[in-house]
Chains A and B, each alone.
Chain A
Amino acid sequence: MKWSGMFEARNLHALDFGPYNFTLHPGECLVVTGPSGSGKSVLLRALADLNDSEGEVILDNSPRRSMSGPDWRKKVRYLAAEPGWWAETPAGHFHDAGWLSENLALLGLEQTLAERSVSLLSTGERQRMALLRALEDSPTVLLADEPTAALDEEATAKAEKLLRDFTTRGGILVFVTHSIKQAKAFGNKHLKLERPAERGNAA
């Protein structure tokens, strides 16, 4: 029997990093750890096809090249460590105002925050808004780059609950973290990255 719905990286290289190889089934979580400069964000961006990379990334037996970049990224969703904003208010970044207001409370966010100027939100508030934004319209895979780095303990617990619900529903999670506790609690699989060896080509 052939497995369906898997997310696979085969011999993936990006910039100086790689090769990366892994296979994730629906509902699984891959935790990525490693020091700064070990290519964690590069890996996530390559998986989302936001960076140029070699090798293959496959979702549900379809290689990324079989669909357009935007179509791929609708399914394989990258959440940056420092998310960007293009509209004035957080609400302006969502398609469905009803969905947003239902989910704000799950992360301990006031309803009024959605209509405030993005620049007036705290770092932690923005990070939670970005997490919601990435989960809206249900991606198949979520690539989250330190999604709780700016959150206090209580907010972290709420965000983790949201991420766990995502995998329980069959979502695949790839998740960069510096917290050993979080890595142990979350990962079905663990990818530990190291800085690439000094290769002597400073260019």
Chain B
Amino acid sequence: MNYVSLDIFDLAVAALLILINGAISVLFSLGIARSLFIAAIRMSVQLAAVGFVLRYVFSQSTLWLIGLIAIAMVLIAGREVMSRQKYRFAGFWGYGIGVTALFAAGFTTLLFAMLIVINPDPWYEPRYLLPILGMILGNILTAVALGLNTLLTTARREQRAIEAQLALGYSWSQASNPIVRDALLTAMMPIINAMAASGIVALPGMMTGQILAGIAPVEAVKYQIVIMFLIAGATALGALIAVLIANRRLCDDRQRLRLDRISAKD
């Protein structure tokens, strides 16, 4: 592989561009110069830390360490799902549903990718596993958050319509069918749009990265296509798991709507 290695001087020069943002803030008295500065520092420190962590992990390649990092990634993604929701279930379920969906969909897709599609040696080679898991989780996270958010928001908005059907003797699965469909549709729209726009509107980040690293474009494209399919499958699976569990939790053994189980985000 041939690529231009960046030294610390290159980074410093690139950092100069942030001065444009600073100048705009001062010029229009936006008052964001300080938070801009902090954000720039955070970005640099966080990425540097990730770089060193990855360097260590790549040199170790032990399954338990990689597994531990993978689980931590799922738990952090679960928190992010919860924080993106306007309404959520009280207690354990608020966090549990998202994490369950991320675990089940994320690891199923990951194992499929590592064992069957890419098949590196060893199969858990972290140079492949961790970035792929990251991309999969990031997308499931969005889909699950959108799906749950839509389900709970619509259930509240459509309370009367749902209860009108229940009152007439419709089953919960009949009465909740429209909100479940809405939730699944909303969850799957972003990946469908992303697939349709790939290569025309935007060059996907991973592909760009591989090309920069000196991989032949056609090889990079092959990887990107695989990733897109992995993401599509993972988001569909994750959204389905989350929405079905949540929909079950929205009703009780008497097939009644239980809005008292969800609360607005403080």
Contact = CB atoms under 8 A, between A and B. Distances in A.
B252 to A, nearest CB: 8
B256 to A, nearest CB: 6
B225 interface: no
A106 interface: no
Contact of B170 (A70, A75, A82, A85): A70
A52 B163 CA distance: 14
B26 to A, nearest CB: 51
Contact of A51 (B158, B164, B165, B256): B256
Contact of A84 (B164, B172, B255, B256): B164
B160 A68 contact: no
A33 to B, nearest CB: 22
Given A84-B158, A86-B178, A78 B254 contact: no
B126 to A, nearest CB: 50
Q: Determine which residue in A50, A80, A133 has the highest number of CB atoms from chain B within 10 A of its CB, and name it.
A: A50
A82 B163 contact: no
Contacts, number: 66
Interface string B153-197: 000001111111111111110000010000000000000000000
Contact of A70 (B159, B160, B164, B171): B171
Contact of A134 (B168, B172, B178): B168
Nearest to A95: B168
Contacts of B164: 80, 83-86, 130
A84 B159 contact: yes
B254 A77 contact: no
A77 B168 contact: yes
A12 interface: no
B167 A78 contact: yes
Interface size class of A (residues with CB under 8 A): 20 to 34
A51 B257 CA distance: 9
A83 B168 CA distance: 11
Contacts of A84: 158-165
A108 interface: no
A140 B223 CA distance: 64
Contacts of A70: 166, 169-172, 255
Contacts of B166: 50, 69-70, 73
A71 interface: yes
A146 interface: no
Q: Determine which residue in A50, A68, A86 has the highest number of CB atoms from chain B within 10 A of its CB, and name it.
A: A86
Contacts of A86: 158, 161-162, 164-165, 178
Contacts of A80: 160, 163-164, 167
Given A73-B169, A80-B167, 7 more contacts: A69-B166, A69-B255, A84-B162, A84-B163, A84-B164, A85-B160, A85-B161
28 contacts: A48-B167, A49-B256, A50-B167, A50-B256, A68-B255, A69-B166, A69-B254, A69-B255, A70-B166, A70-B170, A70-B171, A70-B255, A71-B169, A73-B168, A77-B168, A78-B167, A79-B167, A80-B160, A80-B163, A80-B167, A82-B160, A83-B160, A84-B158, A84-B159, A86-B158, A86-B161, A86-B165, A86-B178
Task: Please give me the 5 A-B residue pairs with the lowest Cβ-Cβ distance, nearest first.
Answer: A84-B160, A74-B169, A84-B164, A69-B254, A69-B255
